[in-house]
Structure 1
Amino acid sequence: MRLLILGGTEFVGRAVAEAALARDWQVTVFHRGRHAAPEGTTALHGDRGNGTAGLAALASGEWDAVVDTWSGAPVAVRDAARLLAGRVGNYAYISSGSVYAFPPTGPLTERSPVVAGDPDATSGEDYAAAKRGGELAAVDAFGDRALLVRAGLILGPYENIGRLPWWLGRIARGGPVLAPGPRDLPLQYVDVRDLAEWTLDALRDGLGGPYSLVSEPGHATMGELLESCVTVTGSAAELRWRAPEDILAAGIEPWTELPVWLPPGDHQNALFGVDVSKALAAGLRCRPVHETVTDTWAWLRALGGSAPRRPDRPAPGLAPEKEARALAP
């Protein structure tokens, strides 16, 4: 297949590019040129932030499918989708589970209510609204040829948000580590490579419409994630589990200061309790958490331990002095 990736040099886009190359697909990546394109791809350069003028390199050419990883203003998705609609078979937009309205009235499914979005919006500050606007833009141009990949928490090699890299780095340093409990707290996430493989399969098979894409609820636990970090780093770190109420009482922010973790409650139930039966029926397979942690650590070590990070996202993680206070007797 001839695949065009709008992005293709970082995290999700790079994983998709490498998976497609491994299938011997012809891969073109359209990006700003700030990072090296994966070896074996054809690179086209442009800046979607410059409106239609930034898409000049896409004025000609035909592809069987497109993968779009854009997470900014929906107007960029609108412009690209309109430009390509007559020259592309299917359009996969990597959206987010954030488009589901909160609080949910039950387990989240593809039929659950979603937030409002505007495909013509020129701002991406509201992440959920921007992703929903991107979905509407893709559907507007491609109809039932638009595949909406509503990914949840994404982990794995190339992560440029910094969640799993922070935990690996912190645990590698050793010593007492604040471990947010309960230890058996269920997690739901997707390895970026499993997301990539499923998306390519879906494009090959001509699937369209929305799919929630994460592992089954309880695919891993907080304990399994952090203990895997201890194992793969070879660290002498000591995980000290603390009850959620004690962590919150210490003024520690879930998700941001302690990445991946949410205390039991409505938010945790919504984010880590998504019904993924539709994606599973369409072939989603998720590798074990230990493999995700092992491969992410190997990638970090190859980089010298310092992971790339998106400049538009705050750095996750807990300050050492704040951790020490929370661990004090």
Structure 2
Amino acid sequence: MPIESPAIHWLDDHLLLLDQRRLPAHTEWLDVRDAAGAADAIRQMAVRGAPAIGITAAYGLALEALRLGPGASAARLAPALDVLAASRPTAVNLFWALDRLRARFDGEPGAALGKRLVREAERIHQDDQAANQRLGELGAALLPPNASLYTHCNTGALATGGHGTALGIVRSAWRNGHLKMVFAGETRPWLQGARLTAWELMQENIPVTLVADSAAGLLMARGQVDAVVVGADRIAANGDTANKIGTYNLAVLARHHRLPFIVAAPDSTLDPAMENGAGIVIEERDPDEVRRFGGTAMAPDGCPVYNPAFDVTPAELITAIVTESGVIRSPDRQALADHFARRPS
């Protein structure tokens, strides 16, 4: 299938990334030409979302091989691999994508290696688009008619190769006539829900209402939410799921109000080597992301800040995990093992 992504464009010898820090006010593109540039874009959140991070890292390694030209080899690409792997620690898609490219190191080095890595990066991009379409349809089938959904962070075409994960379910439900409304939590401190999710949905005329994160409980208590749909950055072997900070709060609220809590993620987000959520590394970010906003102080200078980028939702709070190869209902260690056994190799 063709690669048609609104946020990631491969142009034969360089990569264009939509700078998501500038949305919705400005549409600006970053020109990335090596692994260091790709790692900077990931680290600084110009590109974000687990699948998009993996795709960008893959292209970044391929760019490094192209830059090295005849000198490209596994040994000379090792520093680039390390830089990319260190860019963000929580999203397993990053390491999965780099492992796919590393598997292409065997064979002729030099220019041929660069071409192999480009082809593999393009396949990762295409595969993610196809996966999102499939999981979108599977997830939409779980929703009641005329559903009002609550979602968190941004899990759409901006965060993936295209279509989206949780927002892929939203898009598919809208196209199938089964969606009434999306409530988008603003998602502090980076406001991905306000800046990105609301923007994406409004581009397609999908009904969206932006709410403060702290309004979620009231909406549920008033019966205005039928299900919560979120993405994931890493899913452990027992079903524990790491996602944007605030997801765990929503899962607890959904359980109290007896609402389905649905996690949407491609199979590449499942990490069978991770025993449970306790082992997932939680990235902690710059305190000024909380203390300041848009250059304006929002707290006293020097105020201590705890700024984790993610939290972990225990599997027992999750109604279903939706991937492109199936729905894992009431996820636990056995359900995940059965899914791994069923999915195509």
Same fold by TM (over 0.5)?
A: no
Structure with greater helix percent: 2
What TM-score comes out, normalization by structure 2 length? 0.27
